[in-house]
Amino acid sequence: MARELHDHWFKEAKREGYRSRAIYKLSEIDRKRHLIRTGDAVLDCGCAPGSWMEYAAQRTGPDGSVVGIDLLEMVPLPGRNVHVLLGDLRDIGDEELLAPAGLGGTRRFDVMLSDMAPNTTGHRDTDHHRSMALCELVLMRSGSLLRPGGHLVMKAFEGGNFQELVQRIQDCFEDVKAMRPAASRSVSREMFIVAMDRRADAELTLPPPPSGGPPPVPDDWSRGS
């Protein structure tokens, strides 16, 4: 495990001065799916320690804007178009998230990102269901935060309900793929759902929980590294 934690991607992030190896996951997804464009407004859900925001700020350029939200405080990122909000995605309203990017009214984010994961318990099914609850939260919030035609990326732990989640997202977006970037650790069960071109008529609401269903959205989560 010690060798795994200090692998090629960890060393590359240190060498290039990025905050975590997770930047290479997003860069691969973007390279393959053409996710982020110059001038885009991007929302990063669960942004600490900030490497996805670093990448998004590079890609959007000075005419774009990047807003991040996290439960944890983080060292501020440079740039007048980069904004971090401290708080819970369940509690912060749409306008508070949209305002730092100069959005509001009918203007919404072009891209939503989520590398959020539950703080793991070590119990495979529990961790999977907690991950699904976070994904459902992000999907629901995208209904009012993401413009029609916008793109969504979220991390999910594989398990029994993973394909059901993918199918729900396929009902809302034109093109949906599950990806496992090369920078993901070999021991990790993480997958990234990449959803392109949100449909204007998408029904983005939380489904009713199944009988004896998964735990509610966890109060604690962390970023993968």
User: So which residues are the catalytic ones?
Assistant: 155
Chain CA centroid to CA 59, Å = 16
Q: Using the 8-state DSSP alphabet, how is residue 99 labeled?
A: G
Give the bridge partners for 198, in sequence order. Answer: 173
Query: In the 3-class helix/strand/coil scheme, how is 113-155 assigned residue by residue?
Result: EECEEECCCCCHHHHHHHHHHHHHHHHHHHHHHEEEEEEEEEE
What is the C-alpha separation between 77 and 24, in angstroms, rounded?
18
Is residue 131 within 8 A of residue 118, CB to CB? The reply is yes
Q: Which of helix, strand or coil describes residue 109?
A: strand
Q: What's the token pair of residue 137?
A: 């939260």
